[in-house]
Amino acid sequence: MYNHLLFDADGTLYDFEKAQEFALSSLFNELGLGASSTTLHTYNDVNQSLWKMFETGLITLPELKIERFKRFFTIMGLQTDPFEASLRYLEFLGKSDHIYQWTVPLLTSLRSKGYRISLITNGIASVQRGRLAATHTIHLYDHIYISEELGIQKPDPEFFSHAFPDESEKKRALIIGDSLSSDIAGGNAANIDTCWFNPSKETPRMAIPTYEINSMDELPTLLARLNQRFQLIQHQK
């Protein structure tokens, strides 16, 4: 039924929470600020609100990179250059090798079964390329689509058009991601089936996935079941 799997990066295959904590702790320690849970939580709230703005086109990526530190330092009452802080943070983040334990075995197994594997991410190009190198995982993908390199971000349907020169190929593609607002909503808008990775077992909102899994261990089973169903239908024809 499906032969092309498009995986989101952060929160799906790569552990962005640990990567961000590593990069922020390195930056804050360098600044003499300390990396308490309160400090990290404050930054995270600011950062997430700006990424939501980015997804809806209310802020550009170059603006986001600086604005998150500008707002964070204002809240913390610090007179620190947000531009320089952003540069150092991205350097640290690009060196992160934090990856989920299932990522390499899962992708290796799926590739052995003949699936095409693509990575689709709204991340910053230098950071994502750096993390792919640090985790030694770039060879696991047939294609890599990064919003900064494409000039368009998920959930815009145009982002996904880069992966499908032939519109008919969408019928055999499946998007797998943890974000309802970018991965699932993007798939809905682009008429591509989706699988929502929902480890927290939240209730769907804003966008409706075609399938839902709570653990990555469920994905191979789901694909096998769908393939069997497809073969049965073809046999009955």
Residues annotated as catalytic (active site), given as ranges: 8, 10
Coil vs helix vs strand at 171: helix
Instruction: Give the separation between CA 172 and CA 130, rounded to whole angstroms.
Output: 30
**Helices (H) and strands (E) in the chain — how many of each?**
10, 6
Nearest CA to 195 among 206, 180, 210? 210
| Residue from 18, 20, 64 nearest 28 by CA | 20
Q: What CA–CA distances, in Å, run from 155 to 54, 124, 133, 152, 189? A: 10, 16, 26, 9, 7
Asked if 117 and 175 count as a contact pair (C-beta separation under 8 A), the reply is: no
**Contact residues for 50 (Cβ-Cβ < 8 A; gap 6+):** 59, 64, 67, 68, 71
**Buried b / exposed e across 162-193, counting CB within 10 Å, b at 16+?**
ebbeeeeebeebbbbbbbbbbbbbbbbbbebb
Q: Are 122 and 9 in contact (CB under 8 A)?
A: no
